[in-house]
Amino acid sequence: MQFIRKVYSILTVQILLTTVLSSVSFFSDSYRQWIQSHFWLMIVSLVGAIAFMLLTYWKRKSYPTNLLFLSGFTALEAYSISVVTSFYDARIVVQALVITLGIFVALTIFACQTKYDFTHWMPYLFGGLWLLIIFGFMAAFFPYNSGVELVYGGVAALIFSGYVLVDTQLIMRHYHVEEEIAASISLYLDIINLFLSILRILNSQNNN
C-alpha cells in the first residue's frame, strides 16, 4: 500500500503542476502570445522532456537524483502542454480535463476491481500506438479535416484508455516496490495523451 500511495502522490503533483502551468496562458495574454510566438521552444522542451525521462529511468532508484530528474521532466512536459492548450478555447480545455479525470478514475477503479488481466493487451496497444503515430505523421501533409480529427482522437482515446487499464494493473500487481518513479511516469503519460485525445475530439466537434 505504501508503494501505491507513493505512486499516486507523485502523479497528483505532476498533474497539478501541469494544470497550473497550462492555466497561466488563459489568465495572461502576454504569456500566451509569448509562448505562441516562440513555438520552437516547445520543440526544445519536448526533446528535453524525453532526455529527462530517460535520465529519470536511469536514476529511478537513486534518491534524490531521481526526483530532480522527474521534476525536470514534468516541468518541460507541462510547458509543452501549456503551449498546446493555449491554442484552444478555455471552455473546451476545462471540459477535456474534467472528462479525462473522470475516465481515469473510472478506469482505475475498474482495473482494481476486475479479475480480468488487462496486461495481456500490451502487444496490441503497442501495435495500435505505432499505427496511430504513422497515421498522424501522414495526416500532417494533408489539409485539416474535422471528421478525420474526430476519428483519430477517438481511436487515440481508446488506446490510451487501454494503457491506463494495463499500467494500473501493473502497478497493483507486478511493479517492484522501488519502481514508483517509473510507475508514476507511465500513468502521467497515459493521462496526458488521453487528455490530448479528448481535447482533439471536443475541438473537432466544436468546429463542426
Which DSSP string do the residues of 126-194 spell out, in sequence order?
A: HHHHHHHHHHHHHHTTS---HHHHHHHHHHHHHHHHHHHHHHHHIIIIIS-TT-HHHHHHHHHHHHHHH
Contacts of 123 (CB under 8 A, 6+ apart): none
Spatial separation of the C-alpha atoms in residues 27 and 82, rounded to whole Å:
12
CA angle 152, 155, 160 (to 5 degrees): 120
The amino acid at 65: T
| pLDDT given at position 96 | 93
| pLDDT given at position 56 | 85
Spatial separation of the C-alpha atoms in residues 106 and 179, rounded to whole Å:
24
| pLDDT given at position 195 | 96
pLDDT digits (tens, 9 = 90+) for 51-107: 988 888 787 777 788 888 888 999 999 999 988 888 888 889 999 999 999 999 999
In this structure, the chain runs to a length of: 208
Q: How far apart are the first and last CA of the chain?
A: 46
Contacts of 157 (CB under 8 A, 6+ apart): 194, 197, 198, 201
| pLDDT given at position 193 | 95
Q: Which residue, among 134, 129, 206, 137, has the nearest Cα to 163 in the 3D structure?
A: 129
Q: What residues in the chain have per-residue pLDDT under 50?
A: none
DSSP letter assigned to residue 90: H
